[in-house]
């Protein structure tokens, strides 16, 4: 898949696509207001990188990053732990949907 086609699909799904030298950053906001983003390399197979990111994404592990020692959100994360986990699950779902849409368009 060409980068141009990849970018169009991602942007049509609401992703902001930015290129910095050989890196592509895909960014989108969650319904909880999180500025979620991840980076892949422009000169490698794009779809497989999105899939690899999706497969390695762990909502529970990500939620721990945003949870304070009191069990509540920190650094702008939702206050309730259950909402932090929902937010991280939403991120995972957004990446999954991007991957599935890219596969449809091959």
Structure tokens at 78: 């939702």
Q: Where are the domains of the chain?
A: 3-104
Report the alpha-carbon distance of residue 60 to residue 21 in Å, rounded: 32
pLDDT, the chain, mean: 96
Q: For the chain, first and last CA: distance in Å? A: 7
Q: Give the rounded percent of residues in the chain with a pLDDT score beyond 90.
A: 94
| Tens digit of each residue's pLDDT (9 = 90 or more) over 46-93 | 999 999 999 999 999 999 999 999 999 999 999 999 999 999 999 999
Phi (first) and psi of residue 20, to 5 degrees: -130, 105
| Tens digit of each residue's pLDDT (9 = 90 or more) over 3-49 | 999 999 999 999 999 999 999 999 999 999 999 999 999 989 999 99
């Amino acid at each position: 898949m060409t980068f141009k086609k990849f970018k169009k699909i991602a942007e049509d799904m609401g992703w902001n696509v930015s290129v910095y030298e050989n890196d592509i950053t895909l960014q989108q906001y969650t319904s909880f207001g999180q500025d979620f983003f991840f980076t892949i390399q422009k000169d490698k197979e794009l779809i497989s990188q999105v899939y690899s990111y999706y497969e390695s994404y762990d909502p529970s592990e990500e939620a721990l990053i945003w949870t304070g020692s009191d069990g509540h959100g920190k650094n702008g994360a939702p206050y309730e732990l259950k909402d932090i986990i929902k937010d991280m699950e939403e991120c995972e779902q957004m990446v999954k949907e991007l991957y599935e849409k890219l596969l449809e368009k091959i």
